[in-house]
Amino acid sequence: MPEFRKILIANRGEIAIRVMRAANEMGKRTVAVYAEEDKLGLHRFKADEAYRIGEGLGPVAAYLSIPEIIRVARMSGADAIHPGYGLLSENPDLVDACVAAGIAFIGPTAATMRVLGDKASARRAAIEAGVPVIPATGVLGDDMDAIRAEAAAIGYPLMLKASWAGADGACARSSRRRSWRPRSAKAGARPRPPSAMAKVIWRR
């Protein structure tokens, strides 16, 4: 394992502070990055060094700018980058940029992120590794009639799962939830209880 001397934390707030605390306990120097809107943020003052990023960018875009993160890492002499969680932590492009710049990335490889970042591809990797998984379809398209036919052929109850949309993705919208009610269901009928063994329909 490489020995890091100075770690840039590509995050903000409490997340960055927790990483800094761990780094300090290990005797490592820390580098913070902050957007203009976070110039009074506590994480800026908890680090050994702090640099502003994202001039002209918004407060979120600043932390999502890989060129800015790499720029500060080079300027500060950081030999490793820790992404915390959220923001760029699951972006394989940051890992690629670190490799190109000769900076260690504390986290998974870019290849691992690309496999596991999409739930459907992660499921395929689990199957290839012999890990038991719940029966499911492949990722389906946007033809709702075809999807309903697939659902009817499988049989209810079913669980609709977004392969990558996240908590606020399209599949979480109430209009989409209503569209998945079986057309044969009677008004006022009590829904069947969910099953732990329900098959999964994947949707993008």
Q: Are 94 and 151 within one domain?
A: no
Mean pLDDT for the stretch of residues 2-10:
92
pLDDT at position 160: 76
Mean pLDDT for the stretch of residues 9-21:
97
197 in any annotated domain: yes
Residue 177 pLDDT > 70: no
CATH value at residue 107 = 3.40.50.20
Structure-block tokens of residue 175: 């209009």
Residue 187 pLDDT > 90: no
The rounded percent of the chain whose pLDDT value lies above 70 is 78
Domain closes at, from 67, 92, 115: 115
Q: Are 11 and 110 within one domain?
A: yes
Q: Are 18 and 111 within one domain?
A: yes
Taking each helix axis from N to C terminus, what angle separates 66-76 and 92-101, rounded to the nearest 10 degrees? Answer: 30
Domain closes at, from 68, 91, 115: 115
pLDDT at position 141: 78
Q: Which residue has the higher pLDDT, 198 or 124?
A: 124
pLDDT at position 180: 41
Q: Are 25 and 106 within one domain?
A: yes
Task: Please give the tally of structural domains in the chain.
Answer: 2
For residue 20, give its domain range.
6-115
29-54 pLDDT tens trace: 999 999 999 999 999 999 999 999 99
Q: Are 33 and 100 within one domain?
A: yes
Domain closes at, from 51, 83, 115: 115
Q: Are 73 and 95 within one domain?
A: yes
22 in any annotated domain: yes
pLDDT at position 136: 81
Residue 182 pLDDT > 50: no
Q: Are 95 and 163 within one domain?
A: no
Asked whether the bond before 157 is cis by omega within 30 degrees of 0, the reply is: yes
